[in-house]
Every structure is written in structure tokens, then in C-alpha cells.
Amino acid sequence: MLKKLLGILALFLLLTFLVSCSNKVSLTIDKGKVINSKGEILKYYLGKRSENKLSDKLLVMIQGSGRDSITRRFGMGAGGARLGFDILYLEKYAFDDKELFDKTNCRERRIEDIEFVVNYVISNIYNNNLKEVLILADSEGGSIAPEIANDLKEVTHMIIMGSGGYSQAKEFEVLLEKELNSNEKGIFRKVGIKNKEDLLNKFTEIRKNPSYKKTWWGCTYRRWNSYLDYEPEKNILNLDMPVLFIIGKEDKSVPYESVEYLANKLGDKENFSFEIIPGLNHSFTDKAGNNKMKEIMKKIILPWYKENMIKE
């Protein structure tokens, strides 16, 4: 699905920039696994700043969906090490088994797995001695990160990129209206959605039959059904930690209005920061093809973190 691929690209570009800022920092990668209550093996990798010493800060990366292994992204996050973080890389359950992945992949499953592994690592690896736990999430990952942050009391900070407070159904309605008004052949028409009625009919079809055997736009109906009516706002409202939302105003996968809505509603709360960047798309690239993640890191993310980091 385009939204997921662009979301992964956005996170890749962000963390690639972090690596470029961190030439003197390397990570020791340890492989781990834990068995959940169903007897299923959940795998993870822990990138440590020091081979013999754990940090008191942990960066948890929650990427958009996709079935590839997290090992392809080990280069991501070295900049987090430069800021003092160890990095937790979460392997998706059954990423190497398409049929099993399709059967099990949904919002509820992702949240359950992430929380289980993060809880295990915090309790059994770090012995509950972490000073900071920063979640960095994008696209689909950004929609579930607020619930995870509410469930895990150890989370102290969160950065969400390319995601806001709307349900996916509402996001699609806004995006479709924009596409129809532009008279351009965009992403919806490419998947057979010509008007709002077509879109609502597809939603109804998915809700009535949330099967893992039926697919649309690269995902199973089961996966779509778990996100269509899910409203991140309900969990966002309960957050009292520092939270930074960043989105491009030309994002055609998640409408910037999803973040603008939150900014208007929560702008008076000091723990929330919102950045809607003109001219940038879902991967934070402008119309000329120039990616702006380096500038976003320098001008937005790093100042925000330094302002909100827990002082000694």
C-alpha cells in the first residue's frame, strides 16, 4: 500500500540522517526472543551503545506496516545512540510467512506484540531502570503509538510522523475529496474508487467480511477493518508526556488536516507540539524531489528533544 511504503521511506530517511550525524557511534546488535501466552515466538533486536553496558535511555521504533524483516533497517537509529539511546528493533510476527502474516496481521495484534516485547525488554533486560523511553513512530505506526504510550507507563516521550488523530476511514474521505477536486488521476482512482459512494461501499464490504483471504490495496480486509474506525484521538487526549507531531501539508497518504485538527484542539496543552510543513509530501519531499528530513531534524526534532529531555 502506498501509505505504508511512503511511511517506511519517511522513517528510513529520518534515521538515515541520524546515522549520517553519528559517524563516531556504532551499535552492538543483540538478537533476542520471547514467547507470548499463545506459545508464539516474538523476535527483537537490541542495538546497544556499549557492548558491556546498557544505557538508561531506550528508543523504540514503530514503523509502518510491511512484511520485510527489521534487520534491513539496522543502520537506522545510530543517531539515537549519539543522543545516548539504546535502540529496540521489533521484528513483526510471521514476516517470513505470508499466509500466517495475512491471518494474524491487524491493529490489535501489532499493539499486543509491541507492548509484550517492550514490557519484557524494560523489565528483564533493563530491570526497570530506564530514565527515558522515546517512541518514534510513523504512518500506520503513528496511529497505534498513542495507545501503546498510554499502556506503557515507562514511555516518557513520543515523536509521530505522517499520522494524526483521524480514523483511517475519515482520512480516506478527506483525501478522496481532495483528489476529486483536483481532477487528477490519483491513488483512489487507481484502485477503482471514483467517488465517495464507491469508497463507502468498499468500507461496508470490508466491515461485513473482515477476512484475511480478501485483499484491497495490498492489505487484507482483516487488517483494513481493524483500522478503518479506530480513532487515535481517544488515546492522544490522555497523554501527558511531551509529544511531537510532524506532517507535510502535501501529504497524499494522510491528510494534514488530521494533525491540524489535533493542533486546534490541543494547542493550549504545553506537552503537545505540532509542525505542519508546507510543500512536503508523506516522505517529507518537495515537488522538486528534494528530501527535507535533514532540515526537519536540525530545526524541529533535535531542538524539541533538547527542550524536553529529562534533565539530570
pLDDT digits (tens, 9 = 90+) for 25-43: 678 899 999 999 999 999 9
Q: Last residue of a domain, which of 230, 248, 281?
A: 230
Residue 94 lies inside a defined structural domain of this protein: yes
Q: Is the pLDDT of residue 20 over 50?
A: no
CATH code at position 74: 3.40.50.1820
Q: Assess whether 172 and 151 both reside in one domain.
A: no
Q: Would you say 283 and 10 are in contact if contact means Cβ atoms under 8 Å apart? A: yes
Q: Assess whether 31 and 172 both reside in one domain.
A: no
Q: Last residue of a domain, which of 230, 255, 284?
A: 230
Predicted confidence at residue 74, as pLDDT, reads: 74
Q: How far apart are CA 5 and CA 85, in angstroms?
A: 26
Q: Assess whether 221 and 105 both reside in one domain.
A: no
Query: How many other β-carbons are positioned within 10 Å of the β-carbon of residue 220?
Result: 22
Q: Assess whether 226 and 259 both reside in one domain.
A: no
Q: Last residue of a domain, which of 212, 230, 248?
A: 230
Average pLDDT over residues 88-98: 94
Q: Assess whether 188 and 160 both reside in one domain.
A: no
| End-to-end Cα spacing for the chain | 43
Residue 235 lies inside a defined structural domain of this protein: no
Q: How far apart are CA 142 and CA 253, in angstroms?
A: 13
Say which residues have a Cβ less than 8 Å from residue 253's Cβ, sequence separation at least 6: 2, 3, 6, 7, 139, 162, 175, 187, 282
Q: Would you say 282 and 251 are in contact if contact means Cβ atoms under 8 Å apart? A: yes
> Grid coordinates representing 108?
490489535
Average pLDDT over residues 15-20: 45
Mean pLDDT of the chain: 89
Q: How far apart are CA 147 and CA 87, in angstroms?
A: 20
Q: Assess whether 57 and 153 both reside in one domain.
A: yes
* pLDDT more than 90, % of the chain: 74
Residue with the larger pLDDT of the pair 190 and 3:
190
Give, in degrees to the nearest 5, the angle at Cα 186 between 185 and 189.
Answer: 75
Q: Assess whether 31 and 113 both reside in one domain.
A: yes
Q: Which residues span the domain enclosing 226?
A: 167-230
For residue 29, give the amino acid letter. Answer: I
Could you tell me where the DSSP H helices lie in the chain? 2-20, 78-82, 98-104, 107-120, 140-151, 168-182, 187-190, 196-208, 221-228, 233-236, 257-266, 293-296, 302-308
Residue 77 lies inside a defined structural domain of this protein: yes
Q: Is the pLDDT of residue 79 over 80?
A: no
Q: Assess whether 67 and 199 both reside in one domain.
A: no
Phi, psi angles (nearest 5°) of residue 191: -110, 20
Of 16-30, 188-202, 203-217, least confident by mean pLDDT is 16-30
Residue with the larger pLDDT of the pair 236 and 24:
236
Q: Assess whether 56 and 97 both reside in one domain.
A: yes
CA 189 to mean position of chain CA atoms:
26
Q: Assess whether 73 and 208 both reside in one domain.
A: no
Q: Assess whether 127 and 70 both reside in one domain.
A: yes
Q: Assess whether 147 and 202 both reside in one domain.
A: no
Q: What total of structural domains would you count in the chain? A: 2
Of 15-19, 44-48, 274-278, 306-310, least confident by mean pLDDT is 15-19
